[in-house]
Structure 1
Amino acid sequence: MFRATAPVRPPAPATGAAGGMPRLLRAGRYAPAGPGTPYVPAADREEFFRQLGAPHGMPFDRAGFAAAPRRTSVELARGALAGLGPLSAEEAPEVAVVASAAPDFEHAELVGSCVQGMLPGEPLTFGVSDQGMLAPFSALRVALEYARRQAFRRLLVLAVDQSSQPFALPADHPAAVRADVAVALLFEWGGGADPVHGVGQRPWPAPGAAVPWDAELPLVAGAGVRTAVPGVWPWATWAGTGQPATAVWSVLAGLAGGGPARVVVAEHDPQRAVLAHCTLDLGVPGRTTTGE
């Protein structure tokens, strides 16, 4: 994560055939099922949770936390990265950004640092959070901007939904995570110094008028887009709920190896009144793995 020497800028790659559009190379998805390990009470840990929630009026939900699977974000990230298959030094990303909508209950591990050690070459790695369901879109934008400035060609976006929380959330809260899922998406970008095309976020009080992307392309979108941009969507695939950071990206991962040549991924966050979207070149992506 930290470098002791100044970065050496490599020669700028040739402009990609997709006009600066990121191309999905591989996708891996990890969604373990079943209960986790039995809960072992620890007085110091439970006191930490009580102190953490006290300033916000959030009591420690011991029964709910004990019944949760308690799979850490690091464990989920490791499973998604394994789904990508082996990566050589030439195939590995040069920058990796972890995106999450909910914090990990395990505060002793930094997901970005752990992910860096899981990848060949120890790429520049960090995390994006506190943006709810839009965090992965921001992660992709940040990764692309690093690629543009540093002439990187390969970038990784890792979205993680970790359901175990020491505090109870309302059942209908849009940020509530209902399942443990991680999705790893390895992209290639040959845009060089050119601006990034087809990626953006904008204020969007629902309902809006017209989509800010190519309406002729297939769409993978969260349910909020249906409300934010009302109309007939015969070419849309709608993601489910309960996975704010990974829902639409899970659908995208499922298209790896058998989807359209190009697709728009979009999400609308009603709490922030923001619409996020990106246009991706699927090309001929590699594997996608779902499982334990």
Structure 2
Amino acid sequence: MRLVRAGRRGFTGDAAVLADDEHRAQVTDYFADLVRPFGAGPVTALSGQSYGEMARALVAGVVPATEPVDLLVLAFSIHDVWPGRATATYLSHVCPGTPMSFAICDQGSASPFTGLRVIGDYGARRALLVVVEQSSLPYESAAATPAAHRGVAMLYESARGTRVTEVRQYPDVAPEAVPEAARLEVAELSAGHPRARLVLSDSLVGVWPDRPDHTAAPAGQPTTGVWWQLAGAPEGAVLVGDYDRELRYLCFAVVEVE
């Protein structure tokens, strides 16, 4: 698969659906019920974004009506403010081609890499990977949240003579084991793609002191960071690397940008 078109966008304010007082109250109660057994409570003033609306705007900018999509994969980590919606199904409805759709979550920053694996294994002629994150949590938590609401949409196409996108994922990698594992992976992948530009997340950079020269992904965007940088990359191969400190996933992928 090759990356033929990409779009990235920041979002501000709250989702339009939060203007509905009834919806706001229902979502607040819903999350209050979920976190009560853990001794937490809902936030006093619910705010945030709906991934359906974020992704719909991204899809409109990346997928022309004349280029129907066969597969859509939505990757995210943090809850949005419309938990009752089957967002991937909704996006299939608004995306040209009414594609088969999947949502991938609960894998932290590894979710988009898993999305690329799904795309590669599915064998679609044209596939869309949408990566979104918002900076608000709908319940009390000490966990760090992203710096901003952001989303990236990437349209991939199969092409004769183009390498299948390479994805490498490793679970349960301790921080102290990351430097050696990352060094070996980058060396091996770079051997097959000698001109590939290297993009690393701030999380991976933080545990890899002797890292090679690279392009830094935006800090504070754990899910969209490396993909935001990829969406603005010029033509050629790009090697992206990420590390999730909480879930201890180490991930790499080589993407051919057209």
TM-score tier by shorter-chain length is: 0.7 to 0.9
Aligned to 1:188: 157
With over 3 angstroms needed to count, the CA separation of the structure-2 counterparts of 1:181 and 1:154, relative to structure 1, is same
2:91 paired with 1:115:
yes
Q: 1:28-52 CA deviation, whole Å, 9 max, x = no partner?
A: 1221234666756444443323212
- For 2:119 and 2:60, locate their aligned partners in 1 and report how far apart those are by CA, in whole Å: 21
1:160 aligns with 2:128: no
After superposition, the Cα gap between the structure-2 partners of 1:242 and 1:156, relative to the gap in structure 1 and judged at 3 Å, is same
Paired position in structure 2 for 1:9: none
1:211 maps to 2:187 = no
What is the one-letter code of the residue matched to 1:208? P
Q: Aligned ranges for residues 244-263 of structure 1 at < 5 Å?
A: 244-255=222-233, 259-263=234-238
Matched residue pairs, number? 244
Aligned equivalent of 2:60: 82
Q: Which has the higher contact order (CA 8 A, sep 6+)?
A: 1
Q: Does 1:282 align with 2:254?
A: no
Task: Please give the alpha-carbon distance, in whole angstroms, between the structure 2 residues aligned to 1:273 and 1:39.
Answer: 38
CA contact (8 A) 2:77 2:111 kept: yes
1:46 aligned onto 2:14: no
Q: Which residue is equivalent to 1:6?
A: none
Which residues in structure 2 correspond to 1:210-249 (within 5 Å)?
210-212=183-185, 213-214=189-190, 216=194, 217-234=196-213, 236-249=214-227
Is the alpha carbon distance of 1:251 and 1:105 closer, same or farther for their aligned partners in structure 2, counting shifts above 3 Å? same
Counterpart position of 2:244: 269
Change in CA separation of 1:82 and 1:44 when aligned onto 2, cut-off 3 Å: closer
The equivalent of 1:202 in structure 2 is 170
For the structure 1 residues 228 and 242, does the alpha-carbon distance in structure 2 shift closer, same or farther, using more than 3 Å as the test?
Answer: closer
Offset, 1:62: 1.6
Indicate the structure with greater helix content: 2
Compared CA separation, residues 77 and 242, structure 1 to 2 (3 A): same
Could you tell me which amino acid in structure 2 is paired with residue 51 of structure 1? D
Q: Percent identity?
A: 30
Unaligned runs of 5+ in 1: 1-21, 284-292
- Structure 1 position 80, deviation (Å): 1.0
Classify the secondary structure of the residue corresponding to 1:115.
Answer: helix
Q: Is the 8 A contact 1:133 1:269 kept in 2?
A: yes
Specify the structure having the higher radius of gyration (Cα): 1
Find 2:114's aligned residue among 133, 138, 143: 138
Matched AA of 2:231: A
| Counterpart Cα distance in 2 of 1:230 and 1:80 | 35
Classify the secondary structure of the residue corresponding to 2:229. Answer: helix
Q: Structure 2: which amino acid aligns with 1:92?
A: P
Cross-structure match for 1:16: none
Look up the equivalent residue of 1:158 and give its one-letter code: V
SS at match of 2:11: coil
**Aligned-CA RMSD value:** 2.5
Alpha-carbon distance change, 199 to 35 in structure 1, aligned in 2, over 3 angstroms: closer
Greater percentage in strand: 2
The answer on whether the counterparts of 2:75 and 2:105 sit within 8 Å (CA) in structure 1 is yes
Aligned to 1:78, the other structure's residue is in SS state helix
TM-score (norm 1): 0.75
